[in-house]
Amino acid sequence: MISATKASFQTEVLDFKGKVLVDFWAQWCGPCQMLSPIIDQIAAEKPDVKIVKVNVDEEIDLATAYNISSIPAIMIFDNGKPVKTIIGFRQKQEYLQILV
């Protein structure tokens, strides 16, 4: 899993050829902490999907750029383009469905 910053987001997400799951989270966010093991499972089950985490407290500009006002927020990028978003904690199956 990669932690992205404003400086690395272009390279890690926007320039990546393929699917990227971006997890916008914060340390103090309880639902984010509940989601973390699910993201780990998805990373293990879907090696073809790049997993990137963005700490919204440290990367306010990125959160603002992608209109993240609630967390956890999962955005799926496909070849650098945002294609799907889930806001809030959901079951693992819902995250897997948006990766199809």
Cα–Cα distance, 54 to 39 (Å, whole number):
13
DSSP codes of every residue in 38-93:
HHHHHHHH-TTSEEEEEETTT-HHHHHHTT--SSSEEEEEETTEEEEEEES---HH
Cα–Cα distance, 48 to 57 (Å, whole number):
28
Residues forming the active site: 29, 32
